[in-house]
Structure 1
């Protein structure tokens, strides 16, 4: 808690001002969390001082937004350009130097083709915000990064296992495919799921797996279309997908260092397979050499 307070003061997270007449301050509370390494061992104990958001009013400018704007201005001043496609991505290009910086709240991922320039960027950020350099990326937002001199392998093994445990499926038999061959979009005899929030939460967690698991993209895309009124059948299909990823936890994306820059794209469509929606579902995947870099399933 003391470390968190000192970090907030050092980064000048707030300014102490007089309270306007007739206004009551919003309270705050401590939130404690245990951060773990990819293997499950304890990395560190984390304390956060947060605003009680249930007491805040819509429309008031929050300090976090101001802080994000300040960070963006500093990065832009260094020469990084914010992506118009993903506002969390900043790219720096100069001569033959290329660097990419990704931000999520207070987590930052930096990569590039110049070690010297990256050291300068980290020092620049440290001077402005007192950052902590955690070294080569191994775990970032539930993405596990296994890097060698010849390749990079991205998986979400720990994240998958957390889903399995939360659903009490540790001893369930693993499924051999994301969907069974006889599955249809709607079972007319299946009743509505009483707790639809369970379904929405599970599908949301499966959607996050799409970052490293293109093999479930088609299946999860179908399930995401029934968020408003899911049935028991839909929920059982979602559980089937969980049983599938339980048996394939180490599947992910593999990027070889020995690769070429040949761009290849593939696409396909099911041509109104399901009579209920009467629309096609198309999908595509794009490879740079042997590395899968983009994919999607869409109605």
Structure 2
């Protein structure tokens, strides 16, 4: 810790001893989560090794799960008595408030119906379009054009770096419910340190694409199976600057899309086969992680399949 302004110790060297973790101090999140973990273990919950923010308790064939992000948490499961007990124990340990059924969490809107659970960020999209002046723009059908050849060139026209980074940062958060823009966001996020007018044009196109369907989201339906399926693809040497390939994968559990990613590979692949195998490795790791996560929740997957499709990966995250 730094000495408070105006404090004088007579010119002697010294340090401050931290007696209490104040809100805002970098040590406070670790101290808070350590205390919360201790309270959950005291309640008999198991901390998942696949996701350390997930706590699970199995009792009489029923499951109760809690996941926390900073100080916001979601409690779910089929053991209603255990959920009531958990809320009571947490209220005794911390100052907390129950908001009832889940409808809104960290900008994500949750709608439950007989068809399933629908996740969207329509308000977030509309607010972003309004702030950027794109609310009345003409919508487009795709988030990015094919063969865009974006890169960093010596004669490029620079744009406001801070504005570009803020826009891309907000778009990255939208990828949580919009797998169809995952590839486009992956492309524009590579030029955060040196954005140009060409890069800003792509960001503007993504906003225009969101304008076409601001209420688009993901629907999770009830399924009779929990089969895990993974699909991967790769664009070999697609980056015009460093000739690295872009990998993409998306996975399904019970026929529902759960994870997706589009990311440029760390090294240059010397053949399309090498690039494909690297992409497959990322997809298989994701499938194995999902198997372990479901196992911690008490669901034992009887089978796991991974379908690999070869070819150019224009938009790995698009469904």
Deviation digits for residues 242-263 of structure 1 (CA, Å, limit 9, x no counterpart): 1111222121111112442222
Match of 1:87 in 2: 52
The reply on whether 1:171 has 2:129 as its aligned counterpart is: no
Does the 8 Å contact 1:175/1:243 carry over to 2? Answer: yes
Match of 1:198 in 2: 163
Deviation digits for residues 22-78 of structure 1 (CA, Å, limit 9, x no counterpart): 599xxxxxxxxxxxxxxxxxxxxxxxxx96x6xx7xx7x44x543332122101221
Task: Choose from 249, 274, 278 the match for 2:214.
Answer: 249
Match of 1:223 in 2: 188
Q: Distance in 1 between matches of 2:190 and 2:47?
A: 32
The reply on whether 1:117 has 2:82 as its aligned counterpart is: yes
Q: Distance in 2 between matches of 1:206 and 1:92?
A: 35
TM-score in terms of structure 2 length: 0.71
The structural deviation recorded for 1:274 is: 3.5
Match of 1:239 in 2: 204
The reply on whether 1:159 has 2:137 as its aligned counterpart is: no
Q: Distance in 2 between matches of 1:87 and 1:96?
A: 23
Quickly say closer, same or farther: Cα 1:85–1:192, change in 2 above 3 A: farther
TM-score in terms of structure 1 length: 0.75
Match of 2:145 in 1: 180
Could you say what secondary structure the match of 2:137 adopts? coil
Quickly say closer, same or farther: Cα 1:133–1:191, change in 2 above 3 A: same
Could you say what secondary structure the match of 1:211 adopts? coil
Quickly say closer, same or farther: Cα 1:95–1:213, change in 2 above 3 A: same
Q: Distance in 2 between matches of 1:80 and 1:66?
A: 19
Q: Distance in 2 between matches of 1:131 and 1:288?
A: 33
Q: Distance in 2 between matches of 1:223 and 1:263?
A: 31
Q: Distance in 2 between matches of 1:89 and 1:296?
A: 21
Match of 1:143 in 2: 108
Q: Distance in 2 between matches of 1:259 and 1:249?
A: 31
Greater share of strand? 1
Does the 8 Å contact 2:152/2:241 carry over to 1? Answer: no
RMSD between superposed Cα atoms in Å: 2.4
Does the 8 Å contact 1:259/1:290 carry over to 2? Answer: no
Aligned 1:253-272 pairs, distance under 5 A? 253-272=218-237
The structural deviation recorded for 1:85 is: 4.4
The structural deviation recorded for 1:94 is: 4.0
| Unmatched 5+ stretches in structure 2 | 1-6, 10-14, 17-21, 265-319
Match of 2:251 in 1: 286
Which structure has more RCO (C-alpha within 8 Å, separation ≥ 6)?
A: 2
Deviation digits for residues 133-157 of structure 1 (CA, Å, limit 9, x no counterpart): 1111000000100001330000011
Moved more, 268-277 or 86-95: 86-95
Moved more, 222-231 or 256-265: 256-265
Could you say what secondary structure the match of 2:175 adopts? helix
Matched residue pairs, number?
247
